[in-house]
Amino acid sequence: SSKCGQEPSGRAAAWMVGNHKDSPHLWKTPKLQPAAMTQKSKSTTSLSLTNMGWIVAVRSTPFSSVTSPQMNLQAMLTMRHVGPFRERAQELLQLLSETSDTLERWLKVQMMWCSLESVFTGGDIAKQMPLEAKKFGKIDKDWAKIMAKAYETQIVTEGAANEILRASLPVMYSELEKCQKSLEGYLEQKRNKFPRFYFVSNPGLLIILSQGSDPLSMNEHYEKVFDAITFVDHNKKDKTLIEKIHGDGGQGHEVIPFSSAVRAVGNIEDWLCELLKKMQLTMKDITRNAAGELNNLTTDISQLRNFVDSYISQFALLGVQMLWTNDMQVALEQMKTKKNSMKDCN
């Protein structure tokens, strides 16, 4: 330590400038070791490197290891005895400040890359957006090189001081933003064609669209776009034909066969629109059949139990309401000649 008004001793001076031997917590920077990073497996596609990519683990340690020394250096620069070491302290502060800024940009690029990697490296979306997929493929290769270099470097300050890295990150972020905007426009087009997609979040919709070529995969997502459809039955021989609707309504499980099968081919939003139309037509057909059977019930009310049991609850209730409405209409018309007609009807 030093006395007031005197130059600090050699050991104290060494600590103040952050000598890596005397103050490792101040000088040493975190390493990007496998334990502090996460491996991300990438599938082999024509648009991405066939290797194991690295991503920086989002932890507080790298930032605290940079910001804490920054605060210490700032405090040192306000001390009266910092004169002989001011230049060195300012250099270290500048280095840590630039490292912190680079890390922030690095993680922003990584977050954007992670959100788009599964979209543009395979699946139906990449096929429908070839230009964006090609652009992302180039970024993906550059990203793999950057992370491989970071893993070789290990030291954060050295890795972040790479001028090529600093120059590449803003460009990569800008290009990824363009891909993101194109993807948002793509999702908006799909929602315009099938408005029920507005009920689904962007991540959920991306999953649905990426599996659009497989109609069976939609069974996991029907409840997101239809209130009363749990899953559907496909033809055993032809998986593109949808024959029945299953729904868990009330206390029981209900099954409704389509009047005519729905063919699930082409873009998923197109055949979902077709499924919606066929579902509405099927509801009309069932309602029409129920209304026809009501003519027999007006003469033999004992058959009401059979009518209710033969239809699912929605149409059974509708039939009973139609029957009651018809009886009330007849009773009202008979009021002119028969005063007790309403009482007799009840």
Q: What is the pLDDT of residues 197-250, one digit of tens each?
A: 999 999 899 989 988 888 999 999 999 999 888 899 999 999 999 999 988 765
Task: Please tell me whether residues 238 and 133 are part of one structural domain.
Answer: no
Is 80 exceeded by the pLDDT of residue 271?
yes
Within-domain flag for 36? no
Task: Please tell me whether residues 156 and 251 are part of one structural domain.
Answer: no
pLDDT of amino acid 297: 72
Task: Please tell me whether residues 178 and 130 are part of one structural domain.
Answer: yes
Identify the residue with better confidence: 286 or 24: 286
Average the pLDDT over each of 30-44, 91-105, 212-226 and give the range with the smallest value: 30-44
pLDDT of amino acid 182: 93
Task: Please tell me whether residues 140 and 247 are part of one structural domain.
Answer: no
Task: Report the C-alpha gap between 280 and 262 in whole angstroms.
Answer: 12
Listed ranges 45-59, 70-84, 156-170; the one with the highest mean pLDDT = 156-170
Q: Is 249 left (phi over 0), alpha (psi -120 to 50) or beta?
A: beta
Task: Please tell me whether residues 81 and 176 are part of one structural domain.
Answer: yes
Give the count of alpha carbons within 13 A of 165, CB side only.
26
Is 80 exceeded by the pLDDT of residue 134?
yes
Task: Please tell me whether residues 137 and 218 are part of one structural domain.
Answer: no
Task: Please tell me whether residues 187 and 203 are part of one structural domain.
Answer: no
Task: Please tell me whether residues 309 and 203 are part of one structural domain.
Answer: yes
Is 80 exceeded by the pLDDT of residue 264?
yes
How is 161-172 classified by DSSP, letter by letter? T-HHHHHHHHHH
Within-domain flag for 3? no
Number of domains the chain contains: 2
Residue that finishes a domain, picked among 193, 215, 250: 193
Place of tokens 């620069």: 77
pTM given for the model: 0.67
Task: Please tell me whether residues 169 and 225 are part of one structural domain.
Answer: no
Within-domain flag for 205? yes
Task: Please tell me whether residues 151 and 223 are part of one structural domain.
Answer: no
Q: Which domain holds residue 179?
A: 61-193
Is 70 exceeded by the pLDDT of residue 141?
yes
Q: What is the pLDDT of residues 287-310, one digit of tens each?
A: 888 888 887 776 666 778 888 888
pLDDT of amino acid 244: 92
Per-residue pLDDT, averaged over 154-164, amounts to 79
Task: Please tell me whether residues 188 and 209 are part of one structural domain.
Answer: no
pLDDT of amino acid 48: 30
Within-domain flag for 182? yes
Residues 6 or more apart whose Cβ sits within 8 Å of residue 55: 37, 38, 40, 110, 114, 147
pLDDT over 70, % of the chain? 77
Q: What is the pLDDT of residues 64-83, one digit of tens each?
A: 566 677 777 777 777 777 77
Within-domain flag for 326? yes
pLDDT of amino acid 241: 93
Instruction: State the CATH number of the domain containing residue 214.
Output: 3.20.180.20
Task: Please tell me whether residues 159 and 210 are part of one structural domain.
Answer: no
pLDDT of amino acid 65: 64
Residue that finishes a domain, picked among 149, 167, 193: 193
Within-domain flag for 31? no
Within-domain flag for 52? no
Residue 204: count of CB within 10 angstroms of its CB: 14
pLDDT of amino acid 332: 81
Within-domain flag for 242? yes
- With bands split at pLDDT 50, 70 and 90, how would you rate the model's confidence at 54? low
| 246 neighbors 229 (Cβ within 8 angstroms) | yes
Residue that finishes a domain, picked among 178, 193, 208: 193
Place of tokens 């998923």: 268
Q: Give a three-class secondary structure readout of 61-123.
A: HHHHHHHHHHHHHHHHHCCCCCHHHHHHHHHHHHHHHHHHHHHHHHHHHHHHHHHHHHHHCCC
Instruction: State the CATH number of the domain containing residue 115.
Output: 1.20.140.100
pLDDT of amino acid 22: 33
Burial tier of 225 (Cβ tally within 10 Å: 0-12, 13-18, 19+): buried
